[in-house]
Amino acid sequence: MPVITHLGSAGIIWILWAFVLICIRKYRICGIKMLAGMFTGLIIGNFILKNLVARDRPCWIDTDILMLISVPQDYSFPSGHTLASTISAVILMQEDKKLGIPAVILAVLIAFSRMYLFVHFPTDILGGLILGLIIGFSMKPIWNKISDYLQKRKASS
């Protein structure tokens, strides 16, 4: 579980995946949407909601549990690992199920690892999941509007 959870730390696996996709012409837009979605999740989830809710982590409350990973220093709600994983998995599923299915499996494993490792409550995971679904599904229509705007602007030039 520590290895799985570290894959999601700072969204690193998803950021790397996005950069690989950006290098492939067919999937370039998908990679850009992933980065935009994760950036949106970072702002809303990690910078705003975590500090607004200010929920203690389970490992802060019960310090008798032997930790397998270092104790996180930021607040618990929502789970940033779950948030970034869900956003990425949704965008990948929308783009190509062959990319999306492994992403969904990895996202579920990462989310579960956060509870298993005693750094999140189930509701933290649920919060990250719901917000991740909202942001992930929002990226496609937002991208379509941006794309339409740019095409209209280019046509009028």
Catalytic residues, by residue number, are 81, 120
> Tokens representing 120?
């999140």
How many residues make up the chain in this entry?
Answer: 157
Amino acid identity, position 96: D
Q: Exposure of 85 by Cβ count < 10 A (0-12 exposed, 13-18 middle, 19+ buried)?
A: buried
**Dihedral sign of CA atoms 119, 124, 128, 129 in order:** positive
Instruction: Tell me if 77 sits within 8 A of 55, measured CB to CB.
Output: yes
Angle, helices 80-95 vs 122-156, to 10°: value is 50
**Dihedral sign of CA atoms 106, 109, 114, 117 in order:** negative
Instruction: List, in order, residues 6 or more apart from 101 with CB less than 8 Å away.
Output: 93
